[in-house]
Amino acid sequence: MLKNFQKSEESIKPFRLVKYFTFTSLVVIFVGTLVLSLLNTHWARTVQQRKSEEYARLLIENLNHQVFLQFIIPVALKFGKIQLSDEKQFDYMDKVVRSTLYSFKVDMVNIFDMNNTISYSFDKTVVGKKDFGGKAYQDAISGKSTSKLLQRGNWLEIFFGFPRNSKLITFAPLRAEKPLSRISGPVLGVVEIVQDLSEDYKAIFDFQIRVIGTCTVVMGLLCLVLFFVVRRGERITARRALERLRLQGQLSRAQHLSSLGEMVAGISHEIRNPLGIIKSSSELLEKKMAGFDPSNGIPAIITEEADRLNNIITDFLNFAKPRSPHLTACSIVDVLEKNITFLSSQIKEEGYIIKKHYDDNTPEITADSDMLYQAFLNIILNAMQAMPDGGKIYVEISSSTDTVTINFEDEGQGISEDLTDKIWDPFFTTKERGTGLGLGIVKNIIESHGGKVHIVNRTDCGARVTVEIPVVQEV
């Protein structure tokens, strides 16, 4: 049994290897998809930041142009100097800046003079404050534009790319325009523009969540489908492995029985010839002894035992070399009635009662009536032997469109659970004088007709033998 189980496990191993490889591949694909999604999101944020920086520089160039043309030149001509502390100049400057940046996504604008003092701002509270520019201001004074991304949120929000707010701060020099200056674009101050990128980053994060969610759903569905496919494949593989083991067992048993049958057939043939001589001699001796010593029963005993031995040999031959059924139309009811008629005297003498229930529409079948007669006779005799003190034997016939079912029930002790798997083995018997071939012969006959036979214990007492025979045999 352990060997068969190991063989079954070996046959299933290749499928398990495929299953593990498939699931591992699915996990790797899913992880790879998540990594690719994160890389794409990072690339999208990088591109977004680069575009925003370019956008800020273009805004500053446009603002530089408008401030120089619409504010610096007119105010210098009108007032002689630029002085944003003057409320009129500041309001005029504010009007130029806001009209220039109208409809653009700009959160804050600060303009620094050459002394790192805020001369103009959307927020009037910071106007006049010094040293707010830092290193970015110094870079802008030297003619270099710089941008810095400022994000706020806890480390998880920043790590996973969804900070509470994201702002891009860009510093660029405010220059004089070339056509109006002898010096090629001198730096007149520094412009700081603050862009709020929170919505853009939120859109990127939402897209990332949708991608990951879609991948998770798709991979989940694939995993679910694969799980059911694998479960079905495992069941099919296990069923085929068990079927293979069953067929191997049947083949081994058939080979064993074939060898045993050849041996039994040879021995039985050699025994039957001298047995016939012994029987005929004992019968002759019995006739001669009748005139000299009628009370001597030894010749009769020899004859009786010779008959019993001949019956045993016949059982051996029937089991070892079963003949193929000669199929003709026959009635199961007629066969059973023939069995009961043959056993009627024994049934009456030993106190048995046959309870019959036949289906009114039992169809005729194609079978070998003689072989079925022998099989049913063995079953009924077994039922009688299970009740040595007499009892009821129930015989029931039912039918469907393609099968006739015969149930034989007795009121004996039933079959012990530890013997259930052994009752079909040849030469196994619980009787003192049995050969252990009766049920084996029954099984051979029924299976040669394409039928099935099995034995179970009844709920209350006794055993039930069920025989199923197809109505039409496959030729």
**Domain residue spans in the chain?**
2-209, 324-470
Q: Are 365 and 405 in contact (CB under 8 A)?
A: no
The domains spanning 2-209 and 324-470 adopt the same CATH topology = no
- What CA–CA distance (Å, rounded) separates 130 from 118? 6
Class of domain 324-470: alpha beta
Residue ranges of the chain with per-residue pLDDT less than 70: 1-19, 158-161, 178-185, 254, 256-270, 272-273, 275, 290-296, 308, 311-323, 418-438, 473-475
Close Cβ partners of 474 (under 8 Å, ≥ 6 residues apart): 450
Burial group, residue 4, by CB count within 10 angstroms (0-12, 13-18, 19+): middle
Note the pLDDT of residue 75. Answer: 84
Q: Are 318 and 441 in contact (CB under 8 A)?
A: yes
Per the rule left: phi > 0, alpha: psi between -120 and 50, beta: everything else, 396 is: beta
3-state secondary structure of 207: helix
Note the pLDDT of residue 170. Answer: 92
User: Which residue type occupies 75?
Assistant: V
Scanning the structure block, which residue is given the tokens 């530089």?
Answer: 64
Note the pLDDT of residue 95. Answer: 92
Note the pLDDT of residue 394. Answer: 92
- What CA–CA distance (Å, rounded) separates 205 from 209? 6
The CATH superfamily assigned to 2-209 is PAS domain (3.30.450.20)
Note the pLDDT of residue 6. Answer: 47
Q: Of 6, 31, 108, which Cα lies nearest the Cα of 63?
A: 108
Burial group, residue 121, by CB count within 10 angstroms (0-12, 13-18, 19+): buried
Residues written for the chain: 475
What's the predicted TM-score (pTM) here? 0.44
pLDDT digits (tens, 9 = 90+) for 284-301: 777 777 666 666 677 777
- What CA–CA distance (Å, rounded) separates 64 from 61? 5
Scanning the structure block, which residue is given the tokens 């030149």?
Answer: 73
Quote the distance between the C-alpha of residue 213 and its chain's center: 24
Note the pLDDT of residue 220. Answer: 80
Alpha helices (H) in 68-122, listed in sequence order: 73-79, 87-100
